[in-house]
Structure 1
Amino acid sequence: MLTGHGDDAYRYEREIIADFSTNVWHGGTPAGLKAYLWENMDRIERYPQVLAENLTQKIVKHHNLAAEQVLVCNGTTESIYLIAQLFSGSKTTILTPSFAEYEDACQIFNHELSYLPWLQALEMPQLRSDVVFICNPNNPTGRYFADLQFWIKRSPGCIFVIDEAFIDFTEGLESAIDLVKKYRNVVILRSLTKTYSIPGLRLGYLLANDEIISQLTAIKQPWTVNVMAQAAGEFIFEHYDQVQLPMATIWKAKAEFVNQLRQNEAIVVEESETHFFLCKTLVRNAAQLKDFLIQNHGILIRDAGNFRSLTRQHFRLATLTPEKNQLLIEALKAWTKLHY
C-alpha cells in the first residue's frame, strides 16, 4: 500500500499544526543525534557498509546474540518483504486488524493467505500455517500478547514473525527476543524509527536463527541501509541508556487525553496498551472527520477505515503533548456540535 498510511501531511495544502496520525514518538530525535549525523556527513561520499557490519556488532552486543542471528534492514518494511520473499508460496496467517504491509508483501510473493481475528488469536489456536505475522504490540489497536511462548511451542511447524516495532511504548511487555535463542521458528522484527523519531532514515533489524538469516542475506539487495541511517543506529546503541522514552510522562499524558476524549458522546475510545489507540466516530465516518479536522483546525488523524476488519468509522490517534491533545479535544467538540 503505497498510500493510505498515516503521516501524510505532505498531501495537503493546509498547514498541519498537530499530527495525531503517526505513532512515531513526537518528542523528536535524541539529544546529540543530529550533531552526530552532521559530524559524520562525509560518510555520504562513500558507499555504505553492505550489511551495516559496524551497527550489526552493536546490536549483537546489546542483545547478547551472535552476528549470524542479526540482519540490519531499511526499516521494518524491508524486513517484511524479505520474509515474504523467502517463504514465497507459503500458507500464511495474518492477525487482524494489523499493518497492511504484511498482506501486501505476501500477495506479491504468492502466499496463500488466511486471517485470524485478534480476539480469536488470544486463544492461541494450533496453527497449520507455514508462517504467521503477529504485530506485538499491535498496530492499530495497541493491544498485545503478554507471552507468546506457549503458542510458539504449540505450533512448531509454523514460523512466528513477531513485529515489535512499538514495544518501547508499552509497560509490562517483555520482548520475545530471548525466544530466538530457544526456538528455530521465531523471527523478531525491530524498528528504530518509531522510538527515536527517525522514520525518514528508514532503519530496523530482524533477529532469527542462523539458517534463516543466511537465507535472507542471500536474497537481500546490497546497500539498502544508507550511511546516515547506519550512523544513527550506531549512535543509538552507543548511548542507549540515555535515549530511552520518558514513559511516565507519556502515560500520564495519554491517561488525561483518553479521559477527556471519553467525555465526548460522539466518540468511542477503545482500550490500548500503547501511546496510540483506536477511536470511532458515531456520526458520519472517519474520512469526513479527517477532512473536517484538516480544513478547519489544521489537525491530522489516521483514517483507519482501510485496515482489514475495521469500519469506516474507525480512526487512530497517537498521544502528543497536553497542549496539542487539547487542540484535538476542542476540535472534536466542534465536530460533535455540528453533526451529533
Structure 2
Amino acid sequence: MRTEAHDLRHHGDAEVRDDGAALTDLAVNVRDDTPPPWLREHIAASLTSLAAYPDGREARAAVAGRHGVDPSRVLLTAGAAEAFVLLARAVRARRPVVVHPQFTEPEAALRDAGHEVRRVLLRPEDGFRLDPAAVPEDADLVVVGNPTNPTSVLHPARLLAELARPGRTLVVDEAFMDAVPGEREALAGRTDVPGLVVLRSLTKTWGLAGLRIGYVLAAPETIADLERAQPLWPVSTPALAAAGACMTPRALAEAEAAARTIAVDRAHLLAGLGEFEEVTAVPAAEGPFVLIRVEGAAKLRAHLRDLGFAVRRGDTFPGLDADWLRLAVRDRATTGRLLQALDRALVLTGR
C-alpha cells in the first residue's frame, strides 16, 4: 500500500473547523464537559507562577507515584504527539514497524525523522485483533496502540508483551487506556518487559487538548535519551499543574467513573447502530469511540455534516478505505439524535 494514499497529518479536529459550522462533534475523542470545574480552577491558580520557569519535578513525582515507578522512569511531554517526535529522533532504530490501523502521528514522525517505516496491517475480517506473528522478527522498533485508535480494539497485555525482544523498542500508545474501566490490559508501570515504552495522554479524558500534556514511561536510560532530544522547559507551568492534579485519588476515581459511563453509552451506541443493516460496526470496541463501515461513507459523512454532526473519516488511516467512519461515544441523548440523523442520511445517499 502506497504511503501517499493516506494523509497521515489529518486529524479529527479538521472535521469541526473546516467552515465554522455549529456541529455536534463526534470526530474528536475528547470527553464532553471537560475539563471539570475543579481542574480548571487548579490550572487557573497556577497562573500566578508564570514569571518563573516551569519546574516539573513535583508533577513527575506524582506520575511516578500513580504508576508505582521511580521518577527516573517518567518523562513529561507536551501531549503524546511530542513523545512520538522524541522517539523518532532519539531511538536508534533501523527497521521500525507501525501496526495499523492506528493513530497516524507515530508513522508521520518517524518518516519526518528520515526513517523508512514498514507497516503491519490488521485485518477487518479478524476484528483488527493483533497477531504477534505478523510483526517482522527483525523489527527493532514496534509501535502499537492499546486500545487502538480508530478501531477501539483492546489488545491483551500478554500478546503485546510477546512483541518484546532483546534489542527491540516496543512502544505502546495507551492514550485512551484511562477510558477503559479498570485499565485492564494496561502495561503502564510494568518494568519486566524489556524495551517497553508506554505513552499516556491527559488530553482526552480531561479535556486538555489545548493545554498539551502527556507522559512517557520507560527504562531510565530511554527516558534520558528522550529528555536530551527535548527543548528546555517543554511543558508549561499550567500543564504541569494539570498533570499533578490528574494523578490524585480524586481524579483517578473520577476517571474510572467516567470510563464506566462511557462503556454504558458505547453499548447504547452499538445497539443503535446494529439496527441499520447498511452499517457494520467493529464489535469489540473498548475505547471512547467506535469504527463503522458503510458503503458510500464519504457521501454519508457529508450528509451527516449537513444534518449537524461531524464524524471522522477513516480513509486517512492505513489499512482503511473510504467506507470507514469513526464516531466518538457521547451521552444517550446525543446518540439518539445521531441515530435519527444517520437514518435520514442513509436515505439521502439512496441506501
* Structure 1 and Structure 2 fold alike (TM over 0.5): yes
1:55 equivalent in structure 2: 59
CA distance in 2, matches of 1:32, 1:154: 40
Alignment match of 2:206 (pick from 180, 196, 199) = 196
CA distance in 1, matches of 2:316, 2:161: 29
User: How many Å apart are 1:307 and its aligned residue?
Assistant: 0.5
Give yes or no for the alignment of 1:276 onto 2:289: yes
- Write out aligned runs for 1:232-311 (5 A): 232-238=242-248, 239-244=250-255, 245-271=257-283, 272-282=285-295, 284-286=296-298, 288-295=299-306, 297-311=307-321
Secondary structure of 2:171's counterpart equals strand
- Contact 2:59 2:243 (C-alpha < 8 Å) held by counterparts: yes
Secondary structure of 1:206's counterpart equals strand
**1:294 alignment partner AA:** R
* Range that drifts further, 26-35 or 218-227: 26-35
CA-atom RMSD in angstroms: 2.0
- Contact 2:68 2:189 (C-alpha < 8 Å) held by counterparts: no
* Deviation digits for residues 164-183 of structure 1 (CA, Å, limit 9, x no counterpart): 0011222462321243x223
Q: How many correspondences in the alignment?
A: 333
* Deviation digits for residues 20-52 of structure 1 (CA, Å, limit 9, x no counterpart): 111122241234111122222212333322xx2
Alignment match of 1:66 (pick from 70, 79, 89) = 70
* Range that drifts further, 299-308 or 123-132: 123-132
Alignment match of 2:132 (pick from 124, 127, 142) = 124
**2:39 alignment partner AA:** L
- Contact 2:164 2:196 (C-alpha < 8 Å) held by counterparts: no
CA distance in 2, matches of 1:187, 1:154: 11
Q: TM-score, normalised by structure 2?
A: 0.89
**2:268 alignment partner AA:** E
Q: TM-score, normalised by structure 1?
A: 0.91
Q: Give ranges in structure 2 of 5+ residues lacking alignment.
A: 1-6
**2:73 alignment partner AA:** Q
- Write out aligned runs for 1:320-339 (5 A): 320-338=330-348, 339=350
2:234 equivalent in structure 1: 224
Secondary structure of 1:174's counterpart equals coil
Identity %: 26
* Deviation digits for residues 168-212 of structure 1 (CA, Å, limit 9, x no counterpart): 222462321243x22341111011111111111110000111111
Alignment match of 1:177 (pick from 188, 193, 209) = 188
2:82 equivalent in structure 1: 78
| Structure 1 residues 187 and 81, CA gap change in structure 2 (3 angstroms) | same
CA distance in 2, matches of 1:88, 1:190: 22
1:7 equivalent in structure 2: 13
CA distance in 2, matches of 1:294, 1:34: 31
Q: Give ranges in structure 1 of 5+ residues lacking alignment.
A: none
